[in-house]
Amino acid sequence: MRDVAIIGVGLNPKWGELWDKSLRTLFAEAALAAIEDAGVDHVDSMYVGCMTSGLFAGQEHLGSLMADYLGQPGLPATRVESACASGGAAVRSAFYEVASGASDIVLAGGVEKMTDVGGDGATYALSTAADADYEVYHGVTFPALYAMMAVDHMNRFGTTSEDLANVAVKNHNHGSMNPAAQYPFEVTVEQVLGSVMVADPLHILDCSPITDGAAAVVLCSMDKAKELAGDRPLVKIAGVGAATDTIALHQRPDLSWLGSTEKAAKTAFEMAGVGPDDIDFAEVHDCFTIAEIMVIEALGFVERGKGGAAARDGLTALGGKIPVNTSGGLKSKGHPVGATGAAQIVEGVTQLRGEAGDRQVEGARRGITQNMGGTGGSSVVHVLEVV
């Protein structure tokens, strides 16, 4: 396979409740920004990550729609769906198209317009990432599922509500330095613990928000990237991994272990020829604060059961051993579900180019992104490095 580089990244200037922008406008805005950043005049192919635009915005057939709206009729364009891991899966698909030699320049991105429906509609749309017969039918929501995972982690390892709150505090601190973040404000442990309870032990400030937004990246062969890069650092996708687990939480032997993340990370690490100790920063899927705690354990950054203390002890903060979610994560930056995985790549490239401003990880040479669907029914991991 050919080496693959990321030569362009794009993100809407601000994520949140974007009433004046449609689904197509959001994606086009991010895609055009990535194309401009890449300095190319065409792409050979395109992948659009989106979880459930049909339920959120009444629109399917996104490959055709987005190619048309970008002014690229005839472009091979495919919509990719893997629940909340759709954006990461789209980037993975683009990686393999370039690596195989089928195309030289490929656009990959993700989009979700989530605020055109009410709370009940959003809850229903998101629930389609769970098991319809054995979870959704019985009224179980994602806050409830992650609450079960949190309780299991607490009972096994002594994790506390304060440990969960410290994840939110850290990510909001990082997000306060990200101009694109939906909620760019800081919070305290006391504010998190005093916020309304959603599903015990998860408070509202333990949960990621409903978000409109899009993100995009341009991938190309390394040889082509060297022609286009100029003086800018080249960022290579060194490793890619993907895996699945049972969609239903109750079918897993261990409620607080993310097997799909462990397997996807193993594949990505092996492809890149590195391990957890070689990573300088990580963007992970903190849809709920407990998710970040479980993910850093599955990625091998801390021992099993030690994830709860990581944020509290400063391990995962800027300046710590392994900064996690320097963008603010899903918690502060926002979580337009189909776009999240691509946005993680955008942050990774921004860090590796040294362009992250106040939230820059000093000396960053290698990072990892982890994007997952549902309660970990699917996971996608990318290892990025400066060439």
Tokens of 327: 């963008």
Cis before residue 76, ω within 30 degrees of 0? no
Spatial separation of the C-alpha atoms in residues 329 and 312, rounded to whole Å: 17
Spatial separation of the C-alpha atoms in residues 145 and 261, rounded to whole Å: 17
Angle separating helix axes 340-352 and 86-99, nearest 10 degrees: 60
- Return the closest-CA partner of residue 153 out of 312, 380, 309, 282: 309
- Return the closest-CA partner of residue 148 out of 310, 244, 290: 290
Of the candidates 153, 174, 203, 335, the residue annotated as catalytic is 335
> Could you tell me which residues are beta bridge partners of residue 221?
4
Residue 335 is among the residues annotated as catalytic for this protein:
yes
What distance lies between CA 36 and its chain's CA centroid?
22
- Return the closest-CA partner of residue 157 out of 251, 297, 265, 253: 297
C-alpha distances in Å from residue 217, one per residue of 66, 85, 214, 261, 305: 15, 16, 11, 23, 35
SS3 255: coil
132: Cβ–Cβ under 8 A, 6 or more apart, which residues? none
Residue 50 is among the residues annotated as catalytic for this protein:
no
Tokens of 155: 């009972």
Query: Can you count the helices (H) and strands (E) in the chain?
Result: 14, 11
- Return the closest-CA partner of residue 31 out of 346, 344, 337: 346
Of the candidates 50, 84, 220, 287, the residue annotated as catalytic is 84
Strands 366-373, 4-11: pairing is unpaired
Q: Which residues are catalytic?
A: 84, 335
